[in-house]
Chain A
Amino acid sequence: MWAELRDLRDNIDLGTPPREGVEVTVTIDGVPVQVPSGSSVMLAAAKAGKSVPKLCATDTLEPFGSCRVCLVEIEGRRGFPASCTTLVEDGMTVATQSEKLQKLRKAVLELYLSDFPEQDIEGGWSEFHQVLQQCGVTTHPYPRGANHQDAPIDESNPYFLFDPAKCIVCSRCVRACEEIQGTFALTIAGRGFESQVAAGQNQPFFESECVSCGACVQTCPTQALVEKSLFEGGYHRG
């Protein structure tokens, strides 16, 4: 009855919380797999060994569907649904890789890269970097447009910092602060391009209600939120 907590494993991120329920069978890229009903297609794919690339999803948080990377094709359905917010049904057939899906993912990732520090694309090991590698994306074709690369870094907390230049507004931090920690210190302020992670009443982290539990840092896929201790000699934008 506590599958969403107790069935978590360290060596795999299932993408959405494990559920309990009657088992159903779905086929992912030709591989049949049994998962409890109420599970997401993303979780079924992970269980089948066919993990779908993802950014805003993680198995410690309820699905959100903002990053648009985890798209799949489902037989008998139109379009390219997000596998994190789509629930399994018995007998479902799913394809996680196809030319069209690869193109779509590449396009989404290139857009993320267009507003990401150029000099940090190579040499990084965050989830975002791993997804880029998984999808074979290394650059983007866009000229320099409006961006967040000069947004101020929040180093108010003694242990971690927030660099908006790397933020993809996936909301994992906001959701972690709500669902896991329960402090509700973070929100996304503004809309569209102006969207930004805000602590408290748009204050520095240290002055907000943030209790420095580190859940947001742990879950951030791009290391926009990151431990200061991982930088010898301080954090410097290139």
Chain B
Amino acid sequence: MANPIKPDRSVVTTCAYCGVGCSFKAETYQGRIVRMIPWKEGKANHGHSCVKGRFAYDYYNHPDRIRTPLIRKSINDPWREVSWDEAINYAASEFKRIQAEHGKKSIGAVSSSRCTNEEIFLVQKFARAVMGNNNIDNCARICHSPTQFGMSATVGWGAASQHFDSILQADVIMVVGSNPTEGHPVFGSLMKRRIRQGAKLIVIDPRHTETVESAHCNATVHLALRPGTNVAVLNSIAHVIVREKLYNETFVRERCEWDEFELWTNLVGSDRYAPEIVGPQADIDPELIRQVAHLYAAGPNSAIYYGLGVTEHSQGSTGVMCLGNLALACGMFGREGVGVNPMRGQGNVQGGSCLGSWPHVFSGYRFVTDAEVRSSFEQEWGVPLDDEPGLRLPNMFDAALTGHFRGMYIMGEDPVQSDPNQHHVIAAMKSMECVVLQDLFLNETSKYAHVFLPGSSSLEKEGSFTSAERRVNRVRKVVEPLAGYQDWEIVVKLMNAMGYPAHYNHAGEILDEIARLSPAYKGMSFDLLERIGSAQWPCDENAPEGTEVLHTVKFPRANGRGTFMLTEFVPTAERTSDRYPLLLTTGRILSQYNVGTQTRRTANSLWHPEDVLEINPEDAHVRGIKDGDWLTISSRFGSTRLKAKLSQRVNPGIVYTTFHHAKSKANVLTSDLSDWATNCPEYKVTAVEVVKTATGTVSTHQHETFEEAAA
């Protein structure tokens, strides 16, 4: 008999993985999850899914799951299993002790983009109302913080201007530094559908990715630019548009700041941004730059989708501003089929951004220095709040090494694996007195933790996520939390243990609090989401069921107008040299998700059991490297070993790897350089050398200065 079992119960919830936020029906049989079936009424996915959300859910049940709290006095001691009360009280007492000895600002917190809106909100409340400082950050720091900065500067809000379906109205789709086929698969499929209908595709990416070329779907133009030249190339595209007067003057006059536009046209119109100059700098044919400019400006509907290939650079924020400038100049805002859309990677990283999990803003991107905003929070929370910006995550590590930062509460993140310059991060972690980590599994960061609180997966909790299209979707509990508590309940326990009375009967009350304190979420509630399924912010009395397309009438800036920022190209300090002649860039693959904590514990590892280094056959040949050889890759910061994969996807001079497996230690290589505005790490440009390695272990370098490396 080969008839399958029939599930007896089904719960509609949202996928835990990427920022598309697919809706699924989690089907159970006798209490066990047996299948995740995409929900046809999901407004993001319309019944489609990818291998991760559809099949890779078993990690929640993996034997590695920690089900009891753990504590230890020193990171050299073994873990001790304790009760929840003991662990929470220990963490609270340690935090209080550290603050008493070293000041209020000596501890901080980091929230998780894999946790719900409600949980992220509580963690930033924990930092602000309970710890009493603004040392709160989230992992968008290392990916899309430049989006928040750059988009706020040009159009007012750091979020996608469109909903995903809007792409079906686009005539020209420009994908910059993103690989939707791998990173946002369901959206990638929608994009391909549109391209098969005749829309043109422009891809700006150093690699010949799956987005550039796939079945019945090819890019009209692919700018395979040299890593680190984004701003020069984008300015050059703008140069053509300005010099040939292809911009939409009516739109700029009516809806933007004309004075800033003129400053901008002077800058990008200058000779140094001509395609003939920039092309050779970026290793691309100047004619292609002109082609892109003509295509984009002509539209009629041109849409930009961009990702970490824009943001994870020392000019990340500048790059984002370039995109905003381009779209404003050509009038590509305020209707379907256009816009500028950051491809937010994680399921709830947009939520983290919107809900103020930042050291410098409250929810809604409103500055902590703004007395009026601050007092509304003080009233709701009943305590005075710090009026100065706090430390960003990378600066928390810096401050740990100077002894000013000694305690940290990390929820659902693994900075030791995901943050750059791993040696620096480890040294910082080691110098802290109390690291409290809340997660599903022991990860790289847990090696340096003193308290481990077993958290809950998104299958075990109630709450909501905010996806990359600003869509707030319900997350529903399918099974009981394996360790006993939903993540938000643990945060509440911590708050109480530190003397702040917090109580919520259910997660919906937290969303209600969010609604009271964030204008864009004003109309959000569990009731609304039950009724209509999901809603995109802003959701308020003007848009009671949410807003699909932004900026249709005004831009959310003081004078309602979009503006232009001057984006001079400043080459990164990271240079190739004789010692490190290749450029390493990083990315993602379909089957694994970020640091692989979840997907490595599923059968998805069959597709991607290890990170490999993609190297062009020319570069491999001169180094005597064959496919499958073990290599030592070194940068100024360290070395690691990866297997070689010869590939034409990368041009000579460029190598590429992913970061899904802890053992590859890709972040030992990445530098300490970061975006000027947000400290978003420059993952995408690291000078390296690659040599074939025989056997044996690799000695990791000490950090080298630029001068040593160039010698």
* Residues of chain A at the chain B interface (Cβ within 8 Å): 1-2, 5-6, 8-10, 60, 117, 119-120, 123-125, 158-160, 163, 179-184, 206, 209, 211-215, 218, 223, 226-227, 229-232, 235-238
The CA-CA distance from A18 to B188 in the complex, in Å, is 22
Across the interface, which residues of A come within 8 angstroms of B607, CB to CB? 212
- Decide if B47 touches A8 in the complex (CB within 8 Å): yes
Closest to B54 in A: A214
Take A179-B193, A218-B38 as given contacts and tell me if A212 and B51 are in contact as well, using a CB distance cutoff of 8 Å. Answer: yes
Bound CA–CA A120/B603 (angstroms): 28
Is B590 located at the chain interface by the 8 A CB criterion? yes
Given contacts A179-B193, A211-B185, contact A223 B4 (CB under 8 A): yes
Kindly identify which residue among B3, B54, B590, B606 contacts A124, using a CB–CB cutoff of 8 Å: B3
Given known A124-B3, A227-B4, contact A9–B48 (CB-CB < 8 A): no
A123 near B1 with CB under 8 A, answer yes
Cα A212 to Cα B608 with chains together (Å): 13
User: Which residues on A sit within 8 Å (CB–CB) of B185?
Assistant: 211, 213
Q: Quick check: A211 and B590 within 8 Å, CB to CB?
A: yes
Kindly identify which residue among B1, B4, B40, B51 contacts A214, using a CB–CB cutoff of 8 Å. Answer: B51
**11 A–B contacts, CB within 8 A, in A order:** A6-B46, A8-B40, A8-B46, A9-B41, A120-B1, A125-B4, A159-B51, A179-B193, A181-B189, A182-B193, A213-B49
Chain B residues with CB under 8 Å of A206's CB are 606
Instruction: Give the distance to chain A from B476, nearest Cβ to Cβ, in Å.
Output: 15
Among the 9-residue stretches B91-99, B213-221, B315-323, B382-390, the one with 4 or more Cβ atoms under 8 Å from chain A is: B213-221
Complex interface: chain B residues within 8 A of A184 (CB): 215-216
Secondary structure at the A interface, as helix, strand, loop or mixed, is loop
Task: Encode B35-61 as 1/0 by CB contact (under 8 A) with A.
Answer: 101111101001111110011000000
Interfacial residues, chain B to chain A (CB-CB below 8 A): 1-7, 25, 34-35, 37-41, 43, 46-51, 54-55, 165, 168-169, 185, 188-189, 192-193, 196, 214-217, 590-591, 603, 606-607
User: Which of the residues B2, B47, B188, B606 comes within 8 Å of A158, measured between beta carbons?
Assistant: B606
Q: How far is the CA of A163 from the CA of B37 in the complex (A)?
A: 20
A235-B2 in contact given A1-B169, A211-B50, A211-B51 (Cβ < 8 Å): yes
Evaluate contact between B196 and A182: CB separation under 8 angstroms. yes
Q: How far is the CA of A5 from the CA of B46 in the complex (A)?
A: 6
User: Within the complex, what minimum Cβ distance (angstroms) separates B211 from chain A?
Assistant: 11
- List residues of chain B with CB within 8 A of the CB of A236: 1-2
Min CB gap A136→B, angstroms: 20
- B2: chain A residues at CB < 8 Å are 117, 119-120, 163, 231, 235-238
Q: Is there contact, CB below 8 Å, between A125 and B40? A: no
CA distance A179 to B185 in the complex (A): 14
The tally of CB-CB contacts under 8 A between chains A and B is: 113
Query: Which A residue's beta carbon lies closest to that of B182?
Result: A211
Task: Output the residue of B2, B43, B607 with the most chain A CB within 10 A.
Answer: B2
B48 touches A230 (CB 8 A): no
The residue in chain A whose Cβ has the minimal distance to the Cβ of B47 is A60
Contacts of B40 in A (CB 8 A): 8-10, 60
**Cross-chain contact B1 with A227 (CB below 8 angstroms):** no
Residue from the list A5, A6, A125, A235 in contact with B6, Cβ < 8 A: A125
CB distance from B164 to the nearest CB of A (A): 10
**Residue in chain B with minimal CB distance to A209:** B215
Closest to A12 in B: B40
Check A182–B214 contact: CB distance below 8 A.
yes
Residues of B within 8 A of A6 (CB): 43, 46, 165
Question: What's the nearest-Cβ distance from chain A to residue B536, in Å?
Answer: 14
Q: How far apart sit A235 and B4, CA to CA, in the bound complex (Å)?
A: 9
A122 to chain B, nearest CB (A): 8
Contacts of A2 in B (CB 8 A): 165, 168
Would you call B35 and A229 a contact (CB within 8 A)?
Answer: yes
Are A212 and B55 in contact, with the CB atoms below 8 A?
yes
Chain A residues contacting B215 (CB-CB under 8 Å) are 182-184, 209
Q: Which residues of A contact B4 (CB under 8 A)?
A: 125, 223, 226-227, 230-231
State the CA gap A211–B35 with chains docked (Å).
18
Instruction: Please measure, in the bound complex, the distance between the C-alpha atom of A230 and the C-alpha atom of B4, giving whole angstroms.
Output: 5
* B165, A214: Cβ atoms closer than 8 Å: no
Give complex CA distance A235, B41 in Å: 31
**Given A9-B41, A158-B606, A229-B35 in contact, is the A123-B189 Cβ separation under 8 Å?**
no
The CA-CA distance from A214 to B521 in the complex, in Å, is: 34
Alpha-carbon separation in the docked complex, A91 to B4 (Å): 44
Measured between beta carbons, the chain B residues less than 8 angstroms from A120 are 1-3
- Chain A residues near B217: list those with CB within 8 A: 182
Q: Which residues of A contact B34 (CB under 8 A)?
A: 227, 229-230
Q: From residue B603, how far is it (CB to closest CB) to chain A in Å?
A: 4
Measured in the bound complex, the distance between the Cα atoms of B168 and A82 in whole Å is 30
Question: Chain B residues near A226 (CB, 8 Å)?
Answer: 4
A232 touches which one: B5, B38, B214 (CB < 8 A)?
Answer: B5
B169 — which chain A residues lie within 8 A by C-beta? 1
Q: Contact: A213 with B51, CB < 8 Å?
A: yes
Cβ contact within 8 Å between B48 and A215: yes
In Å, the complex CA distance between A140 and B345 comes to 53
Q: Are A182's CB and B189's CB within 8 A?
A: yes
